Amino acid sequence: MLDILFPKRCALCDGVLSGSEVNFGCCSFCNERVERIHSPRCYACGAPLLSFDKELCDDCVNRPRSYESNRAVFAYGDVVKDSLMRFKYHNRREYASYYGQVINEELGDYIKSSGVKALIPIPIHRNRRKTRGYNQAELLANEISRCCGVEVLDKFLIRSQETTAQKGLSNLERLKNLENSFNVTQDMIQLDKVMLVDDIFTTGSTIEACTRVLLRAGVSKVYALTVAVGQGY
């Protein structure tokens, strides 16, 4: 009765699912049309590249990163963009199950080979969480953890300052906007390697700011994992 009244919907187009699509969480049409990222990709940020001639995208060449690498499943096209907007701003929390499943299928080896001891979701400020009701990165990290077995530390890294919107800011302005916005809840942790989890990688400013905080706290290496990443051509 519940399935009739509230049918399962595709996490990408929000259309009603049928048959085996229900268990997968995505319709067959979207599964074929969405762009998944494989090699060649930028070694640093994970964005797709046009050829194997380069190891880094132009952005990463000009802007060295403090984290080891980021990996993403999807290129940030219109379909994925609309899906993540619903997930993030329109209470479509159920999409986390599909994202977590696909991430583990596509990037399970990356998680395993990195040797990370914990997944750390990018935090949001308490005021934003109160308004939204949840942190989409935390939902995502929990789903990934359920599949791969790496524990989630969702209270270690906090967002202590509420920043202005990042949209429309330059790369330098984004990073400056985030300075001193994140803190850890203790002075030092006994973790060698951790992996940050977020929904989208655009300029990487948020992941970079969090990485610097974690490195100062005693983490030796920081990796990152996102659902989607922008083009790296």
For the segment 183-233, what is each residue's pLDDT rounded down to a tens digit?
898 755 678 899 999 999 988 999 999 999 999 988 999 999 999 998 754
Q: Whole-number mean pLDDT of the chain?
A: 89
Q: Is 32 exposed, middle or buried (0-12, 13-18, 19+ CB in 10 A)?
A: exposed
Average confidence (pLDDT) over 53-67 = 91
> Which is it for the CA torsion 27, 28, 30, 34, positive or negative?
positive
Burial track 159-187 (b if 16+ CB lie within 10 A, e otherwise):
beeebeeeeebeeeebbebbeebbebeee
The predicted pLDDT at position 233 comes to 45
Question: What is the predicted pLDDT for the residue at 55?
Answer: 93
Cα 71 to Cα 226: distance, rounded to the nearest angstrom: 6
Predicted pLDDT of residue 1: 59
Q: Can you tell me the mean pLDDT for 97-116? A: 95
Query: Percent of the chain scored above 70 by pLDDT?
Result: 91
DSSP 36: B
Cβ-based neighbour number of residue 153 at 10 Å: 17
The confidence band for 63, taking pLDDT boundaries of 50, 70 and 90, is confident
Mean pLDDT of 91-109: 95
Q: How confident is the model at residue 167 (pLDDT cuts 50, 70, 90)?
A: low
Mean pLDDT of all residues in 5-12: 86
Strands (E), the chain: 70-75, 118-121, 157-159, 182-184, 193-201, 221-229
CA distance 203 to 223: 16
Q: Report whether the peptide linkage leading into residue 40 is cis, meaning its omega lies within 30 degrees of zero.
A: yes
- The kind and range of the H/E element at 8 are none
Domains of the chain, with CATH numbers? 1-33 (no CATH), 36-229 (3.40.50)
pLDDT grade for 21, boundaries at 50, 70 and 90? confident
Question: Per-residue pLDDT averaged across 110-139, rounded?
Answer: 95
Query: What's the pLDDT at 181?
Result: 86
Q: What is the DSSP string of 30-97?
A: HHHHS-B--SSB-TTT--B-S-TT-SS-HHHHHS--SSS-EEEEEE--HHHHHHHHHHHHS--TTHHH
